Amino acid sequence: MRFVADVWATALFDLDFNKARVDVLATKSQDLFREAGINQATTGKMSTKQACRKIDAGNDTKWDTMFDASMTTFIVALRKSDGAMMMYFHDEDGQRYFTQREIEDSATHLIGRYNFNTSQVAMVRDEMLKYAELMSEPEFIESQTTKTTPMKKGSKTPQELMLEAMAMLQGGGQIDEAQVVSIVDKRLKEQRAVKVEVVSAKATKRIDKAHKNFADAVALVGLGKNLALIGEAGSGKSFGAIQMAQALDLDYSVVSCHGKMQSFDLVGAMSPTTGQYISTALRDAYENGKVLILDEFDRSNTETTIALNGILAGDCYGFPDGMVKRNVKFRVIACQNTFGSGSSKTYASAKAQDGSTLTRFTRIEWDIDAKLETAICGDNEVTRAVQAVRKNAKEKGYDQILITPRQAIDANQMVDSLGWSAKKAIEFTCLNGLAGDVKKRLMDGVSL
């Protein structure tokens, strides 16, 4: 059975039917095995079957600290498009496939040797889906084995580029070797996304695929500033915010904002029935020192966002259940499509934000970074076509037609996993539903 995994995880299930948790998340199986400590070799790959066998053995004392001995550990792969899951374990069958509907239709599920509550499986699925929203390249796997993603069509390794350049010399061209090396080096640099090394009190972390403005942004967060990342849809604002939190070794929470939010959605409220305080993600972040990521912040109404003013300004705040001291690690990163001036032709649901709230954020423009898009999707015919269509849309005034890196990711996925032509993939991702004359203008100069 062929399965496209967008995210991998080690998930722990308790036999008491009440608890489950995701321990480690990654977009590639091999990254998961190394980050979770399952594969401690510096080179080489490990199959899911080998990884499950190592977890199941239980005779290595390091597992007592790495995984909770009272819980059963599984390796889980999830597909974002339909929420389907593949769970791996060391048993005769070795794996269990779930569709979204199967998860909900039964009260219990047999996984390996044990039955588990559907709420436990759903809990793991939902956590992985949140992470999958920030997906990178998918990994293609088959049951019981792992396979590497095939090279994108048209992409060239540094070695191939160098050989190609040296062939120019042998052909009698008027160029010396130093110039060839310079040209190749420049070409490689053009293909690479920003790489950032972040040094914190705990560790030094290298971020290999980062937005061009990531270094400035993470430096400001480290300085204690609250940020507003402003850019068009699909530019990776939420993902960039999470990368910043992770680079600084800070926990984070993501809140999706909308026009019907009320102030109690942020600060909490006292329950009219129990009299107990109902907490929120903001309160948790404020008190425990997390990064609060407010996604679609410019969709919030002004009355709600004004509640942030006092929270962002002082060292303590009067929540409904009393005064709470602000944790020094508390940060807020607002992700928005506009500069807070209100709705536009492209973003009709955006709302005007109060000036007193806007001044509490340091603004960072976070437009689509073509180099980052290429680093994620590959320097190939499909990615270049998506970028060309995007350029035409902007130049020809089609502001409401959004061509984002999501289309580039989806189009590459269609070509690589379904065997579609680049032309068909572009038609389904960038041109679907558009009038014929509009399609023609967007494809002007794009040859597939």
Residues 287-303: tens digit of each pLDDT: 999 999 999 999 988 87
* Mean of the per-residue pLDDT values of the chain: 80
Lowest mean pLDDT among 159-168, 420-429, 431-440: 159-168
The answer on 384 and 272 residing in a single domain is no
Residues 182 and 207 in one domain: no
Q: Is residue 322 part of a domain?
A: yes
Does 312 lie in the same domain as 241?
A: yes
pLDDT at 289 (0 to 100) = 95
Is the pLDDT score of 150 beyond 70?
Answer: no
Residue 438's domain spans which residues? 377-442
Task: Tell whether 141 and 199 lie within a shared domain.
Answer: no
**3-state DSSP assignment of residue 364:** strand
Domain count across the chain: 4
Q: Is 39:66 a contact under the CB 8 Å cutoff?
A: no
- For residues 52 and 47, what is the distance between their CA atoms, to the nearest angstrom? 9
What pLDDT is recorded for position 437?
A: 93
Q: Residue 333's domain is classified under what CATH number? A: 3.40.50.300
152 is a domain residue? no
In a domain, 42, yes or no: yes
DSSP per residue, 118-151: HHHHHHHHHHHHHHHTT--S-EEEETTEE-PPPP
Asked if residue 369 has pLDDT above 70, the reply is yes
DSSP-assigned letter for residue 341: B
Percent of the chain with pLDDT over 70: 77
Per DSSP bridges, beta strands 85-88 and 71-78 are antiparallel
Same domain, 422 and 327: no
End residue of a domain, out of 365, 387, 416: 365
Q: Based on the domain organization, do 269 and 334 belong to the same domain?
A: yes
- Pick 208 or 321 by higher pLDDT: 321
pLDDT at 313 (0 to 100): 81
Q: Please tell me whether residues 332 and 202 are part of one structural domain.
A: yes
| Contact between 165 and 31 (Cβ < 8 Å) | no
Determine, yes or no, domain membership for 407.
Answer: yes
Q: What does DSSP assign to residue 443? A: T
- Cβ burial 151-173 (10 Å sphere, 16+ → b, else e): ebeeebeeeebbeebeeeeeeee
Q: Does residue 268 share a domain with residue 339? A: yes
Q: How confident is the model at residue 163 (pLDDT cuts 50, 70, 90)?
A: low
pLDDT at 424 over 90: yes
* 298 and 318 part of one domain: yes
User: 174 φ, ψ to 5°?
Assistant: -85, 70
Residue 216: which H helix or E strand, with range? helix 214-222
pTM of the model: 0.56
pLDDT tens by residue, 82-97: 888 888 887 766 888 8
pLDDT tens per residue, range 28-87: 888 888 878 888 776 778 888 888 888 876 534 333 334 445 678 889 998 888 888 888
